[in-house]
Amino acid sequence: MIRHEIAKAVLMFSGVALIAFLAVCRLSPPEAAPETSPATEFSAGRAAKFLMEIAQKPHPMGAPEHARVRDYIFRALSDMGFKPEAHDNSVIRNIVVRLNEAGEGRKAVVLVAHYDTVQSSPGAGDDGYGVATLLETARALKANAPLKNKVILLFTDGEEHGLLGAKAFVYGHPSIADAGIVLNFDARGNSGPFLMFQTSDQNEWLIEEFGKAAPFPVANSLMSEIYKTLPNDTDFSVFRDAGVAGLNFACIDGFGSYHTPADSLDNIDSRTIQHAGSYALALTRHFGELDLDRGAGGRVVYFDILGKILVRYSQKWILPLTIFVALLLAGIFTYGFLNGRLTLTGIAMGFLALLLSILGSIAVIYAAQPLGVLAPLAPDASAHNRNYGNSLYVLGPVALTLVTTLGVYALFRKIAGVQDLTAGGLLWWLLLMTLSSLITPGGSYLFTWPLLFNVIAFGLSLTAKNQKTFSWKHSALFSICAIPGGILLTPMVYLVLIGMTLKWSAALMAVVVLLLGTFIPHLCQLVSPGNRQA
């Protein structure tokens, strides 16, 4: 009987874990299109040829290699039949090219990438990917009929020295008057998907159209909230501050190569280039046919599901959703109290158990980090980029977190029932949903939707007639309702870890514990099989 209960919990837990793993796997960028692809399509194979010329050596401002790369971009555009112009001031030299001149009064889609690098890096990713993407996009657009709107390609100079080229264009080039939307491509790594991680402030219309056109959207409004807290900037910031609507894209996997000699042609990922190009070409064609003078609308919450669907809704819905979920949980708690299936003391124990699991996991991760056992060390990693050579390093912190959480619930299962422990865990979700709705509205979806599904599962379990055992029905119910949390939180934890390094792993494991909090009935079966459910 005990083996049967353990097997049931492991099976259900493993099923949802597999779905969460697949959600992370869905972050893999699309396969690279070969050079033989139709001329009207974006081909990473063709873009790689541009990149081979651009990223041979470091090319910071003022270096001979910098001038060579600039001259190459001019020649490549000229060979395509365009007429690139140099936009100079006393410090920088941008490259500006207008792909087509539409009717009078039409706004322009502006695509931006910077061609300078830091002193030590060949810049294959930062920002060779962006430059090659723009060149291949220009070639593909040339092979098709002109769009209704103007299209401007801007290769900025001096981005690494304070966004100098973008500032010179925005505040000194006449073409800025035509800018209707800007699409900026940058990199903080050299692999993985290209993330749409930032928008202009009023983004309702932008996100609606992005969702229609992006062939493989990897985007959510929490990334924008996180980015606000960082000291980073890209050329996009200059356009946004000037009131130009737009979208900002970057890849972040392979952070160990960022601004180092390892950001070289030896370490490029053609699939990442393909993903950037799929955005650039599809969105340019889409926005190139729209009226770019229309109102931007309000702000929205948005997130992708498995890189296939972009869910979006107005931030006006955040408060009603929060209130609805809170009232639903309050009603279920009331039912549980009236029917003797919940107790205040037991719920307090459940609240404490999840808190101790979070604190314990953070303490364990901090203690383990100096030992160097949480991640593999890349052979070419520099001293300050240790432990980022393999994205599988996330498995170490997760494993320690799971063991710590199981240990805590093994203790608390002796003094509280499963229903009470589950209810106490849901209170943490309620608290975080409320706080995120008020403080970081763009990230509220991470707590609202998983909590709603788990509240439904919890409510149905409380109304069950047989409270003596944790049945297959209950197990399947909680597992199914835990899927939204796995799909939403797991990729987010993974992306933040690879983008913000292992030093954040302890804090992020708190999110992993929260996710485990949707499996409390299963955890209790693992640590205390055969006991009654209540």
Closest by alpha carbon to 479, among 429, 531, 515, 431?
515
* Residue 382 pLDDT: 39
Q: What stretch of H or E contains 250?
A: strand 246-253
Token output for 172: 């000194």
**Predicted confidence (pLDDT) per residue in 297-350, tens digit:** 899 999 999 889 999 999 999 999 999 999 999 999 999 999 999 999 999 999
> Model confidence at 100, in pLDDT bands (50, 70, 90)?
confident
pLDDT of 60 higher than 80: yes
φ and ψ of 379, to 5 deg: -60, -35
Q: How much of the chain exceeds pLDDT 90, in percent?
A: 69
| Helix orientation angle between 270-287 and 130-142, rounded to the nearest 10 degrees | 50
Q: Buried b / exposed e across 195-233, counting CB within 10 Å, b at 16+? A: bbbbbbeebbbbbebbbebbebbbbbbbbbbbbeeeeeb
Within 8 A by CB and 6+ apart from 397, the residues are 365, 374, 505, 506, 508, 509, 512
Domain residue spans in the chain?
A: 2-26+316-527, 44-305
DSSP letter (8 states) at residue 194? E
3-state secondary structure of 291: coil
102 pLDDT more than 70? no
Neighbours of 309 (CB within 10 A): 10
Cα-Cα end-to-end distance for the chain: 18
DSSP 219: B
Least confident segment among 91-100, 210-219, 384-393: 384-393
pLDDT per residue as tens digits for the range 189-226: 999 999 999 999 899 999 999 999 999 999 999 999 98
Say yes or no to pLDDT of 288 above 80.
Answer: yes
Rounded to whole angstroms, the Cα distance separating 275 from 269 reads: 10
SS3 at position 37: coil
Average pLDDT, the chain: 88
**DSSP-derived 3-state class of residue 39:** coil
Q: What is the DSSP letter of 201?
A: S
Say what percent of the chain tops pLDDT 70.
88
44-305 is classed in which CATH architecture?
3-Layer(aba) Sandwich (3.40)
Give kind and range of the element (H or E) at residue 181.
strand 179-187
pLDDT of the residue at 436: 96
pLDDT for 9: 60
Q: Write out pLDDT tens, residues 478-506.
A: 888 989 998 999 888 888 777 766 666 77
